[in-house]
Amino acid sequence: MTKLSVNINKIATIRNARGGSIPSIVNAAIKCQNFGADGITIHPRPDERHITRKDVYDLKNVITKEYNIEGYPSPDFINMVLEIKPDQVTLVPDGPDVLTSCAGWDTLKFKSYLKEVIQEFKSCGIRTSIFIDPNLSMIEGAKDCEADRVELYTESYAKDYNANKRLAITTYIEAAKRAGDIGLGINAGHDLNLENLAYFAENIPNLLEVSIGHALISDSIYLGLENTIQMYKRLL
């Protein structure tokens, strides 16, 4: 069964907009797990626009399910992940000025760097995933980098879903099949929501995990956090 990891960056964005400690990131992580989330995802950025360095360490003590830390593998990020030792690290190619993840890695161009970083994480028992477009060459490159998993960047699927969902998902099915054939686990995330998630989950073979934040937290404003998490879980 596909796992749901809840990205709680948006909770931190709300907190930081006012200052102080409300809403609590720690309490949000605890509640999400109690309400059925299979894991917690965060993406700390150098400017601490949402998740702060302190949050990363505070969460380590309360996440009893899977802890997934996303980020660009800068020296500071690498050192932090090695200290925390989360269950999974997801490597994204975003620079510090990027608002949100908007492209996958070029695993051919950055093969040597990614391979070196991944080996360091794996030597500490940290499962490693690479954020990637549904491109067969990039999938094969991820395998050469010795990643455990790939996270399929699903923005184009979400964007084209209403126009032609079958066409929108075609490249993702091909990418997932190729990943499975060469022994890579498959995660997915970005712009998945209550409308498009079920079709994606039904059609992507061996989908292990989806990471959802913006849409889920937005839905929870109207529907309640516990109810929203359960609604997403029922689609997987």
The angle subtended at Cα 68 by Cα 126 and Cα 71, nearest 5°, is 90
Is the previous residue joined to 44 through a cis bond, with omega within 30 degrees of 0?
no
Question: Is the per-residue pLDDT at 102 higher than 80?
Answer: no
> For 13-51, how does the pLDDT look when each residue is reduced to its tens digit (9 = 90+)?
999 999 999 999 999 999 999 999 999 999 999 888 899
For 231, the 3-state DSSP assignment is helix
| Higher pLDDT among residues 102 and 55, named by residue | 55
Q: For residues 63-70, give the mean pLDDT.
A: 98
Residues 69-85, buried b or exposed e (16+ Cβ, 10 A)?
bbbbbeeebbebbeeee
Are 131 and 92 within 8 A, CB to CB?
yes
User: Per-residue confidence at 204, pLDDT binned at 50, 70, 90?
Assistant: very high
**Per-residue confidence (pLDDT) for residue 165, from 0 to 100:** 98
User: Per-residue confidence at 90, pLDDT binned at 50, 70, 90?
Assistant: very high
Nearest of 30, 38, 102 to residue 72 by alpha carbon:
102
Helical ranges in 19-125 per DSSP H: 25-34, 53-60, 75-84, 111-122
Record the pTM.
Answer: 0.95
Q: For residues 180-195, give the mean pLDDT.
A: 98
State the catalytic residues: 43, 70, 190
Give the chain's domains with CATH numbers: 3-234 (3.20.20.70)
Are 86 and 68 within 8 A, CB to CB?
yes
Judged on CB neighbours under 10 Å (0-12, 13-18, 19+), 182 is exposed
User: Per-residue confidence at 99, pLDDT binned at 50, 70, 90?
Assistant: very low
Nearest of 10, 2, 3 to residue 225 by alpha carbon:
10
Query: Cα–Cα distance between 67 and 61 in angstroms, integer?
Result: 10
Query: Cα–Cα distance between 104 and 25 in angstroms, integer?
Result: 27
Q: Which helix (H) or strand (E) holds 4?
A: strand 3-7
Question: Is the per-residue pLDDT at 96 higher than 90?
Answer: no
